[in-house]
Structure 1
Amino acid sequence: MAGVEATQPALVDSSKSSSAPAEGYDKKCIFCKIVNNEMGTELLHSDEEISCFRDIKPGAPHHYLVVPTKHVGNCKSLSKEHVPLVNRMIETGKEILQKNNITDLSDVRFGFHWPPFCSVTHLHLHVLAPASQMGFMSRLFYRLNSYWFITVSPLFDSRDI
């Protein structure tokens, strides 16, 4: 399931945590706490719109979670207004992969767990690479366009976004 690694120091400006929580912050949401630098999780990317960190239970050698910095519900709550956000999430995932020397994007899996199969209700894009090195359980758990894991394309197509 989606999780976070909380053992490494954060690489973002610690002044974020000293200010009051921003609009779009859910105090019960673990991902909101992570992007606000309250958990000690290493943020691989953090800006006003997008944050990225490693999944605590990696399904591939490189497994990242790309999340909106402000709380957005799960993928069922998306609408047309979220298309630019999701596109930026994908681009951020690609940038993180490139920084980690993953250049073969044909061997990468991007997707969302479809509710009720997501453990955190904060929107998060799974970025897994190389997909060819995923184990049996990860291939099942992150199987493309199954009942529980979908790519961006079917999500947008099915919701007329």
Structure 2
Amino acid sequence: MATAVRGCVFCSIVHGQRDKHLKTSDNAVVIQDRSPHAPHHYLILSKLHINQASDLTAFDLPLVKEMDRLGRDYLCETLKERGEADTVEDLLRMGFHWSVFVTVRHLHMHLLYPTREMNFLYRAVIFRPGRFFRTVRNIIDNLEKKRNADGRANSNKGMRSSRTAVDANDSHGSPVKNMPDT
């Protein structure tokens, strides 16, 4: 069973609106961003409700890696279908909004490609790697450091099956409800 929060738009998409799923894995779903800022702007949603990237722990490292791989795989498949060249890593931006830029309290990774075709404001401010947008590489590196500091250097197991009591209610006090996995 995966957890979902009543009233969470991304939980509704993950667990109910399967027609919006572009690609899925055991723990994540790719959807089209509703307001794209690049020719390829996708969101990779966690199937498990986690409020935001700053709530991730070392146990979530496999989830973040799975989200990264799922997004990259989908982009490569899409580019091939359209007869476009393979992904140019320098033109790919993947990561999470941080702090005040988090508008939906459900873990989601942005994938934007190619960045050179993005509006200057979005490329240089909103999705610029740094304080308010953390790249997936930065998140993975930090989670690996946490894992190593906690003495779990060789453990890739342990992805959470549920969240702690802190996540038992959403920001509006609505209880978490269990929904079947997709």
TM-score computed with the length of structure 2 as normaliser: 0.70
Q: Distance in 1 between matches of 2:139 and 2:87?
A: 25
Aligned position for 1:30: 9
1:148 shift after superposition? 1.3
Instruction: State the one-letter code of the partner of 2:129.
Output: L
Specify every segment of 5 or more residues in structure 2 that has no aligned partner in the other structure, as ranges. 80-85, 147-182
Question: Following the alignment from structure 1 to structure 2, what is the Cα–Cα distance between the partners of residues 49 and 110?
Answer: 18
* Number of residue equivalences: 138
Q: Secondary structure at the match of 2:13?
A: helix
Structure (1 or 2) with the greater helix fraction:
2
Matches within 5 A, 1:1-161: 22-38=1-17, 42-101=20-79, 102-139=86-123, 140-145=125-130, 147-158=131-142, 160-161=145-146
Q: For 1:158 and 1:32, locate their aligned partners in 2 and report how far apart those are by CA, in whole Å.
A: 26
1:12 counterpart residue number:
none
- 2:11 and 2:142 mapped to 1: Cα distance? 28
How many percent identity over aligned positions? Answer: 32
- Residue 6 (structure 1) aligns with: none
Q: Deviations over 1:79-128 (max 9, x none)?
A: 10001100010001101110111522221000100022111111110000
Gaps of 5+ in 1: 1-21
RMSD: 1.8
1:53-90 residue CA offsets vs partner (Å, 9 max, x unmatched):
01111111000000111212201100100011000100
